[in-house]
Amino acid sequence: MSSSTIQQKQDPKNGSSPGFRFVQGVAQVTGGTVLGITMLTSSIVAGGLVGLATSFRNLPDVRVLRGYVPTETSYIYDVKGKSLASLHGEANREVVKLDKISPTLKRAVIAMEDSHFYMHHGINPNSVGRALLANWERGSVVEGGSTLTMQLVKNLFLSRERRFSRKIAEAVLAIRVEQIFTKDQILEMYLNQIYWGHNNYGIQTAGESYFGKSADKLNLAESAMLAGLIQSPEEYSPFVNLEVAKERQAIVLSRMQKMGWITPAEAEAARNQKLKLGKITSWQTSELPFITEAVVAELNERFGRDTVLKGGMRVQTTIDYNFQRMAEETVTRAHSTLRRRGVRADQVALAAVDPRTHFVKALVGGVNYDKSQFNRAIQSRRQPGSSFKPFVYYTAFATGKYGPGSTVMDTPVSYRDGSGYYSPRNYGGGYSGAMSIRTALTVSANVPAVKIGRAVGLDKVIEVCRTLGIKSPMEPVTSLPLGAIGMTPLEMAGAFATFASNGWHSDPTVIVRVTDSAGNVLLDNTPKPRLVLDPWATASLTSVMQNVITSGTGKAAQIGRPAAGKTGTTSSERDIWFAGYTPQLSTAVWVGNDNYRPIGGGATGGVYVAPIWRSFMLNALKNEPVQYFQPASKFERP
């Protein structure tokens, strides 16, 4: 709202009475004589303060405001734009342009805080004189007399202490600001800067919090109530005392009426209007806390925590709200089923990744976020057991020396490892003699996996894991092929997603795009896949892992379409897994206890976890067409 906008004759389009002029309104309240004196003495006092400015050479340079960007709240959205969470430090703020703020709100604030705003040069001598007299009589600063410009510089540059020297500095800085910026620029900064109560800074978040409206949608009744808050936001808040807030609203409306900025009928209608209050938005919990925690972790790593909390980011995630809710409900139901079956497992975690983009599609870090905020999908490294074996067999296939039909001996063996000997055993005991690698992985024989791992080199297996984005610590110990290391469900899902895409890999992410509040792109995670694995080796591995589901340890994971996967069970029965994929989705599910207590009772990934995976995948793919994996015969063998 410019001075010309305020002075123009108003019409029904902008919602005010005809024949209104700003200067006329001021004259109706102050009287022409006082107004004349005010305007005459304004230049005198202003000139005197400019002279005093030489005594304040250490004051801040107000020219920095040209590049000033107030701290802003960052917002997180799902892939379709649904709001999930807001992130901020002390100040919950969203900056808006002046033309995106309701004209009635601007008038209400000016009427209440500085009716001469478009007429003075930073200070109002009439108000200052009245305040100086009151302060002189009381011997301390008891009355302000501040203009909007003075309030702005106080908020931006000066301390809150009530001293005469600070008030003089405030006036000097206000004059400097008025020499550099237009009135509209000052008003825009003011309305975006000041505190409105309940951790809301700036009119946009205030409007959203108090009335569930953006700043441009506020009507006269709402604007008057908000303008009445400025002097003491918490005390006059309608959330605290609606009766007091209504009294303040009436004062603002009376002021606007006396100035001729609204008619008596408009004032009466606004006083009687029933207001629908919103809710305090500053400390709302996330709609999808497991997701927003993962998003914040990725943002902090890329931009730093301070920027995330104050930079006004707009973050589009890879997550569809309804899809994530479905995943959470699947985990909750599965846990209830496990408990009914007597399975002593307190937690279930799930991670799902799209192999075509490596975008994370779901993250469920536990059974109940309200009871435990630990995000096991990305933070908990648990032993994957036999679900690690595909990394060993891929490494073997990639050498060109082995294929799915290669023979390996399932016979007793011992290896010198560390301080003693390590002798791998199959789950359930016994040995089967000569078998193909396809059979060894299908039935999850342990001894062949250890033998193949030693033959191709455990360092090579670790190198493959690193290529697939697995960052968890690993050592080339003999038991590595049996999953004697810790991994997160997201690492497993992301790595298997690369198998599903025939070796094309991108780093898994929960973020599609990040912009600032002006729309400038800060991060674009458009997939840039690169071929990191041998296509023949990955297709061969997928073929073998399909047998795990069709006729092996993972038969409970059958979903009526081509799928590949692997069960995982640690020898101590502390961790049970199922990880698998289709061409469209890779998912890893873990079940266990946070205190590492054994689940017991012969718990295996094939019996207890594969059905959870199956339930999730059936829901996740119900609207997706059936797709088939490419056969190894399409690719040249290394």
Centroid of chain to Cα 550 = 40
Question: How far is the CA of 267 from the CAs of 9, 10, 31, 275, 277, in angstroms?
Answer: 19, 16, 22, 15, 20
Q: What region does 499 belong to: left with phi over 0, alpha with psi -120 to 50, or beta?
A: alpha
**Residue type for position 358:** H
**Adjacent-strand bridge partners of 76:** 85, 315
Q: Check residue 3 and give its pLDDT.
A: 42
Using the 8-state DSSP alphabet, how is residue 72 labeled? B
Q: Report the sign of the C-alpha dihedral through residues 401, 404, 409, 412, in that order.
A: positive
Q: Average pLDDT in the 211-218 region?
A: 94
| Distances in whole angstroms, Cα of residue 30 to Cα of each of 6, 16, 108, 115, 130 | 17, 21, 17, 10, 14
pLDDT for the residue 128: 59
- Provide CB contacts within 8 A for 416, sequence distance 6+: 422
Tell me what the mean pLDDT of segment 613-629 comes to.
97
d(CA 499, CA 512): 22
Model confidence at 598, in pLDDT bands (50, 70, 90)? very high
Q: Which residues are catalytic, by number? A: 113, 386
pLDDT tens-place string over residues 368-400: 988 888 999 999 999 999 999 999 999 999 999
Residue-range domains of the chain with CATH: 29-58+120-181 (no CATH), 194-282 (1.10.3810.10), 324-625 (3.40.710.10)
Name the residue with tokens 């340890």. 553
Burial class (CB in 10 A: 0-12, 13-18, 19+), 271: middle
The secondary structure of 22-89 as a DSSP string is HHHHHHHHH-HHHHHHHHHHHHHHHHHHHHHGGGGTTS--GGGGGG----B-EEEE-TTS-EEEEE-S
pLDDT tens, 66-109? 666 677 888 899 999 999 988 776 667 888 999 999 999 999 99
At residue 129, does pLDDT exceed 80?
no
The tens digit of pLDDT for each residue in 326-338 reads 999 999 999 999 9
The number of C-alpha atoms within 13 Å of 43 and in the hemisphere containing its C-beta is 4
Indicate the SS3 state at residue 511.
strand
Residue 23: pLDDT band by 50, 70, 90 thresholds? very low
Mean pLDDT of 292-309: 87
> In the predicted model, is pLDDT for residue 167 greater than 70?
no
Strand partners, 382: 487
Is the pLDDT assigned to residue 37 strictly greater than 70? no
**pTM higher than 0.85:** no
CA dist 477 and 379 (Å) reads 23
Which residues, other chains included, contact 263 with Cβ-Cβ below 8 Å and sequence gap of 6+?
17, 257
Q: Which residues pair with 311 in a beta bridge?
A: 72
| Whole-Å CA distances, 260 to 164, 250, 628 | 35, 15, 74
DSSP category for residue 311: B
Instruction: Evaluate whether 383 touches 472 at the Cβ level (below 8 Å).
Output: no
**Angle between helices 489-500 and 535-551 in degrees, nearest 10:** 110
Which residue pairs from 253-256 have beta carbons closer than 8 angstroms and sit at least 24 positions apart in sequence? 253/220, 253/224, 255/29, 255/111, 255/112, 255/115, 256/107, 256/108, 256/111, 256/224
CB contact burial 594-611 (16+ within 10 A = b; e otherwise)? eeeeebeeebbbbbbbbb
Cα gap 29→355, rounded to integer Å: 70
CA atoms of 357 and 506, how far apart (whole Å)? 7
CB 49 within 8 Å of CB 42: no
The owner of tokens 């410019």 is 2
Assign 27 a pLDDT band (cuts: 50, 70, 90): very low
Extended strands (E) in 161-270? 195-197, 200-201
- On the question of pLDDT at 325 being above 90, the answer is yes
Report yes or no: 209 and 279 within 8 Å, Cβ to Cβ: yes
Local structure of 11: helix, strand or coil: coil
Pick from 489, 507, 504, 509: nearest CA to 580: 489
Q: Are 226 and 210 in contact (CB under 8 A)?
A: yes
What's the confidence (pLDDT) of residue 283? 59
What would the mean pLDDT of 247-268 be, rounded to a whole number?
Answer: 95
Q: Where are the beta strands (DSSP E) in 325-365?
A: 347-353, 360-364
Quote the pLDDT of residue 166: 58
Question: In this structure, what are the phi and psi dihedrals at residue 44, rounded to the nearest 5 degrees?
Answer: -65, -50
Phi first, then psi, for residue 225 (nearest 5°) are -65, -40
What average pLDDT does the chain have? Answer: 86
pLDDT at 41: 44
Order of strands across the sheet that contains 83-87: 83-87, 74-77, 314-317, 511-515, 521-524
Q: Give the span between the Cα atoms of 376 and 378, in whole angstroms.
A: 5
pLDDT mean over 512-523: 93
Strands 347-353 and 586-592: antiparallel
